[in-house]
Amino acid sequence: MAAPLMSGWHFWIDRGGTFTDIVAWHPDVAGVRVAKVLSEDPARVEAAPLAAIRSVLELPVEYALQELGPLSIRMGTTVATNALLTGTGIPTVLVQTKGFGDHLLIDDQSRPDLFSLEMRRPRPAWHSIIEADERIGIDGDVVVPLDEQNLSRSLEEAFSGGARSCAISLVHGWRHPIHESRAIEIAIETGFSQVVAGHQVSPLEGVLARSQTTLIDAMLTPLLQDSIRSLFESLPEASIEFMQSSGGLARPDDFRGAQAVLSGPAGGIVGAVKTAEVSGVREIITFDMGGTSTDVAWYDGKLHRTWESKFNGLRLRVPMLEIDTIAAGGGSICRFDGQRLRVGPGSAGANPGPACYRMGGPATLTDCQMVLGRLDSDLLPSVFGSSRTEPADINASREVFQRISDSMHSHAKMSLEEIAEGCLKIAVEHMASAVRRISIEKGRSVEGVTMIAFGGAGGQTACLVAETLGIQRIIIHPQAGVLSALGMGLASPRLSSERTVGCPVDGEHAYRAVIDDLEKDLVHQMSERGVARDKLGIRRRLHLQVAGWDGSLSVEQAEPGVMRTSFLEKAHERYGFHLPADSPLMVDMVEVEVEVREAVPVLSCDSEAVSGIPLRRTNAWFRGSRMEVDVWHRSAIDSETRIQGPAIIAEDGSTTILEPGWNLSGTPQGDLLLEHVSSAPVTRAYGEDPVSLEIFSHRFMSIAEEMGVTLRQTAHSVNIKERLDFSCAIFTADGQLVANGPHVPVHLGSMDHSVMAVIDGHAHDLRPGDAWLLNDPYHGGTHLPDLTLVTPVFVDDGQKLAFFVASRGHHADVGGLTPGSMPADSRTLEDEGAIISPVRIVHDGRMNEPLIRDLFTSIQHPSRNPDQNIADLRAQMAANARGVEELTRLVATHGIGMIVDCMEAVIDAGEACVRRLLPTLREGSCEANMDHGSTIRVATRLDGDSFVFDFGGTSKQVPLNFNAPPAITRAVILYVLRCLIDDDIPLNAGCLRPIRIEIPSDSLLNPRSPSAVVAGNVETSQCVADTLLAALGVQAASQGTMNNLTFGNNEYQYYETVCGGVGAGDGFHGADAVHSHMTNSRLTDPEILESRFPVRLDRFAVRAGSGGNGRWRGGEGVIRQIRFLQDMTLTLLAGRRSQPPFGLAGGAAGSTGSQFLIRADGEMEPLSARCTIQVAAGDVFHLETPGGGGFGPVS
């Protein structure tokens, strides 16, 4: 029935990528009206939001929408998201400080896929980049005045070349915007209609993220404004507001590209929160499952926000609702990889869609539900097939799962239903991991939390996900399928603003003036909208951190003592250990939010009640067997209805599956309330079970990743929290590697030696709550700065040793001849710092700080900052505690026997993956010469059922520091094997079972104690990787060095590695300006670097022409210039300065690296690749890193 034509309608719209949902409400009309239209329809002239309004009011095409008169529209849109992901924003020129034109290309120098030899960067989002000749120092001093004439000329050229939008982001411009402000004026004078600067969009420290955010805003805002104009042209009397990523509504003039990327999902979160509030629920987890992905979020009386996310390779740093998205939806593809059942991340999309859509699609999670009888084609709309008029096809679903079954016949005998149920379990584990990331990882307990499930597929898996997490209650709104649209109408207009502060929380409270200014500005903006101050709710938050931390925790503004207490409590919840009560606390950032207090519309469901009985019975699969279950239509469920699972509840657009052990009842609000009353018995998993293998492989890896998150958040040093030079892993009771996080490759294959050293030396003395520290390369370590903390994990009330967890971090200084503990000229291990064989530093959960301090200071060359060592070890202790907690939870849920069996099965799977690879490996040989005169020689051959890496002929150990303990070569081999497998396999001890490694004693790769080794870990390892890949015929040499740079004095110590060119391979060019092989550490943002150390980064650019030529070109190196503002000691430890990165198969070598010092008086001083020098204020260090080798002759 057509809705009454009258003014005063409220339209709440979610314009998604595939469909646009609309909810229409009128205060004088009963209920709400709902419609769904295609977001893109070639047969339609008007925009999707207008078509949705026409559809929901059932208006003919000839009706002029202008005649509707005054109305209200609130909308979330994916226009900005889609343009960002597809690179179709407005052509935008980016203005950056001279010397930083390549900064967005280089990014933080890390590669996104650790084990991919071919790195593919997203297409550049910018039209062009201008380097403005200007520079402002950290304190606001104008170091180089802005060259306005040159900037104007460059902007004119960009405009003539097609750029129409201009983004401006200069170093330190967020704090000192004098040059940015003038550049805005020049850009407007040039003719750019859209001009935005970093200090306007994201006034926070960190020029890389700010530049990318400013670029996104400049690219997308004009697109949004165009779509807004089309709405006003058709609906001139409409009042329009837009949902922002932060969860608040904005007027059209204030709605910008940077704030719109999560516009649609934010509406769903708001809708879920309002659903919970009406039901009297305070703590919820939102669960929004659609066709391609699942979004989850946390609410506990306030909306939690994050300040940085990454989209299509670009960081977006604005306040956004904290939403975790995973690629698991109804269209996620199911497959068998030879050992494990796999689900996602690929999706069948809308075309061809799942197999049951009758378009030749693959097996998906939707097909799983069809095979299991949980989705009934009779209750689904007949919109499938090429005609879009046919019903879903259960036979097509069974056919694609039969193919999977046929491929599994030699591994496991499973029925189609068992396979489909297995895939469903795997997807549930992935989704549960997302919930853990926004809850448990952040110190939030799920006990007592209610899940709000919505989205087209949310009700299908909600019970399973909740049960996996121990969540007892689920609420499903009557409009769950369009809850994101409904959330637009239930949201409030909101404005927020934030500023980086960087002052102590105690003392003069400089942050208060900043908060007052922000609040005054926001209140003024609201008054311009006609909103009085007494109608506003105002929240003032401080983001506090321990001095030196990267992560911060938000607390409400209060007296300093109250905020300190709140911060310490939150830190304990998040990180699992107590910080000292007198920890120096800093205000990282302040945030003010104003929200309009307004009445929420009272909504009723516009549906006709039917008899409160099931539609019928159907045969469906639940928990391992088929059974007859009731099928209900949701309209038959009222507040008196009680249903015991298993059951199926169908409605237009979605299905809710009530699992065994769950009860369902209706509520007076029309919600479905699902409550867990009993658990199904746990099915024991065995190694040959492809389902359990995938689930537990993922779970073990997730635990290691969670440890890494904790380590980064709590670490003190730049090395760990900014550069991410750390790794975490879990091990069996006998020290076998089970799983690791995607951290630093050179760590991953060598940490089991550390665990074995603890077992070998202290097996009789291992106790619950203890942890052991080591770094001795001849007793389980690699090089001295890498400190490994090993913690045993006990079960059965502390009686049984079950596992180990370990974390390794590169500490900024552990003593030695030079600051940073990377001396260029060390000859013995003692020259490189504190040598620690396994020693217990944590007993019964308490860290022995006096012992640790003694380890680092009572030596010939003591640590220069033992307090930082202790702080970072405390972070490693927190990371290990997280691992212990999660493994203990697994055992409590599944039993120790099952977990041990699954660990062994995961290790066996690693072995099987490598055995399948062996026949494809080339037998060959290669030798590589190093700058200092040593040679690495390797021959590869298949020997029976083993593959041999024979390093015979490699040079003897040297009286330098390039010696590498065998654990390093082992780590390189593991890395190379994982790269060649090119699949998401478990990287563990099993991968090396089919491998035999032969290394001569007393050689460069198997030295005797006390030979120096600091360069073996960082330099020799890179050359070993190049040599192995060349011997296998896979890839030319990459830069072959980490370009280790340390500088400091008694007050400061800093260490960084610098990227270079990647070697080309057969079929791909080498990547430019990125880390390769055995490291993947990030570079510190220039503004953060300059705020924490007395240096200035003058230039960071791609070194054009340094890559080797060939059919496939080697990658380019970089140029990096650092100006020192204080006297310091500088040490460089690098390679490939005389021996170039070799080409392969006829490709040319890459260029060697070089370096020199420009003294303050202008004198140029050449430097060797291994040097320690004294630099004075005003000196500039200039570094050029090697390019990668080419592959194949130029045709």
Q: What is the pLDDT of residues 58-100, one digit of tens each?
A: 999 888 888 888 899 999 988 888 888 778 899 999 999 999 9
Between 530-544, 858-872, 915-929, the lowest mean confidence (pLDDT) is in 530-544
Count how many residues are written for the chain.
1195
State residue 602's pLDDT score: 58
Quick check: helix, strand or coil at residue 861?
coil
Residue 888 CB neighbour total at 10 angstroms: 15
pLDDT at 569: 87
CA distances from 882 to 422, 730, 900, 1027 (A): 28, 11, 19, 38
Instruction: Give the mean pLDDT of 1083-1089.
Output: 94
Residue 318 region, left (φ>0) first, then alpha (ψ -120 to 50), else beta? beta
Q: What is the mean pLDDT of residues 396-410?
A: 90
In whole numbers, what is the pLDDT of the chain averaged over residues?
90
What is the β-pairing status of strands 294-300 and 283-289?
Answer: antiparallel
Check whether 18 has a pLDDT greater than 80: no
Q: What pLDDT does 674 receive?
A: 97
CA–CA separation, 81 vs 363, rounded Å? Answer: 28
Is residue 212 in some structural domain?
yes
Structure tokens at 712: 């980064």
- The last residue of one of the domains, among 400, 424, 448, is 424
The answer on 508 and 419 residing in a single domain is no
Q: What percent of the chain has pLDDT over 70?
A: 96
Residue 641 lies in a domain: no
Question: Is residue 414 located within the same domain as residue 520?
Answer: no
User: Can you tell me the distance from the alpha carbon of 743 to that of 1079, in angstroms, rounded to the nearest whole number?
Assistant: 9
CATH number at residue 587: 3.30.1490
pLDDT for res 305: 84
pLDDT at 4: 66
Give the pairing type, strands 332-336 and 341-347: antiparallel
As to burial, measured by CB atoms within 10 angstroms (0-12 exposed, 13-18 middle, 19+ buried), residue 925 is middle
pLDDT band at 275, cuts 50/70/90?
confident
At residue 530's C-alpha, the angle toward residues 529 and 534, to 5°, is 115
Q: β-pairing, 662-666 with 771-774?
A: unpaired
Closest CA to 830 of 1031, 631, 1010: 1010
Domain boundary among 545, 569, 596: 596
Angle 422-427-429 from CA coordinates, rounded to 5°: 95
Q: At what angle do helices 48-56 and 207-234 cross, to 10 degrees?
A: 50
Using one digit for the tens of pLDDT, what is the confidence trace for 630-662?
Answer: 999 998 999 899 999 999 999 877 899 999 999
- Residue 409: per-residue pLDDT: 75
507-527: average pLDDT: 87
For 371, the token pair is: 């095979």
Q: What is the dihedral sign for C-alpha 627, 630, 634, 639? A: negative
Range in 1-5, 25-29, 237-241, 903-907 with the lowest mean pLDDT: 1-5
Reply yes or no: is the peptide bond before residue 966 cis, omega within 30 of 0. Answer: no
Quick one: which of 686, 735, 691, 737 has its CA closest to 898?
A: 686
Q: Dump pLDDT digits (tens) for 311-339.
A: 888 999 988 998 888 888 888 999 998 88
- Residue 743 and residue 853 share a domain: yes
Q: What is the CA radius of gyration of the chain?
A: 31
> Who has greater pLDDT, 31 or 618?
618
What would the two tokens of residue 1109 be?
């030529």
- Given this model, what pLDDT does residue 688 score? 55
Averaged pLDDT for residues 742-759: 85
For the cut 60, the answer to whether the pLDDT of residue 797 exceeds it is yes
Say whether both 225 and 339 belong to one domain. Answer: no
| Residue 902 sits in the same domain as residue 772 | yes
Say yes or no to pLDDT of 685 above 50.
no
% of the chain at pLDDT higher than 90:
62
In angstroms, the CA 555 to CA 565 distance is 10
Considering 227-236, 429-438, 725-734, 1023-1032, the range whose residues carry the highest mean pLDDT is 1023-1032
What is the pLDDT, as a whole number, of residue 687? 46
739 and 817 inside one domain: yes
Residues 787 and 880 in one domain: yes
Q: What is the mean pLDDT of residues 557-574?
A: 87
Q: Domain count of the chain?
A: 5
Residue 197: give the domain boundaries.
85-229
Residue-wise pLDDT tens digits, 1015-1056: 998 999 999 999 999 999 999 999 999 999 999 988 888 889
For residue 54, is it within any domain? Answer: no
Write down the pLDDT at residue 499: 86
Give the residue from 1021, 977, 1026 showing the smallest Cα distance to 786. Answer: 1021
Answer yes or no: is pLDDT of 683 > 70.
no
Banded pLDDT at 684 (limits 50, 70, 90): very low
| 8 found inside a domain | no
Angle at 1162 between CA 146 and CA 98, to 5 degrees: 25
Please check the confidence at residue 604 and state whether its pLDDT lies above 60.
no
Looking at residue 12, its pLDDT comes to 95
Report, as an integer, the average pLDDT of 1148-1172. 97
pLDDT band at 421 (very low <50, low <70, confident <90, very high): very high
Mean pLDDT within 655-676 = 94
- Report phi then psi at 75, rounded to 5: -140, 140
Domain assignment of residue 489, yes or no: no
* CA neighbor of 83 nearest in space, from 323, 295, 246, 257: 257
- State how far the alpha carbon of 975 is from the alpha carbons of 367, 749, 1026, 1073, in Å: 37, 8, 12, 21
pLDDT higher than threshold 90 for residue 422: yes
The pLDDT value given to residue 109: 96
* 219 and 337 part of one domain: no
Contact 258, 223 (CB under 8 A): no
- Per-residue confidence (pLDDT) for residue 29, from 0 to 100: 86
Distance CA 1152, CA 930 (A): 12
Q: 71-77 and 10-15 as β-strands: parallel, antiparallel, unpaired?
A: parallel
Question: CB neighbours of 465 closer than 8 A, spacing ≥ 6?
Answer: 287, 428, 431, 432, 435, 451, 471
303 — pLDDT class (breaks 50, 70, 90): confident
- 398 and 523 co-located in one domain: no
Task: Judge contact between 816 and 784, C-beta under 8 A.
Answer: yes
Domain co-membership, 517 together with 377: no
Clarify whether residues 408 and 501 are in a common domain.
Answer: no
Please identify, among 229, 254, 277, the residue that sits at the C-terminal boundary of a domain.
229
Q: Are residues 219 and 97 in the same domain?
A: yes
Does residue 254 fall inside a structural domain? no
Q: Is 860 part of a structural domain of the chain?
A: yes
**pLDDT higher than 60, residue 605:** no
**Mean pLDDT across 925-935:** 97
pLDDT of residue 227: 85
- CATH code, domain with 179: 3.40.50
Q: Is the pLDDT of residue 443 over 80?
A: no
**How many CA atoms does the CB half-sphere of 352 hold within 13 Å?**
14
Mean pLDDT is highest, among 61-70, 500-509, 695-704, 998-1007, for: 998-1007
What is the pairing mode between strands 450-454 and 473-476? parallel
Give tens-digit pLDDT for 352-378. Answer: 889 999 989 999 999 999 999 999 888
997 forms beta bridges with 949
Q: Residue 972 falls within a domain, yes or no?
A: no
From 180, 135, 314, select the one nearest 1087 (Cα to Cα): 135
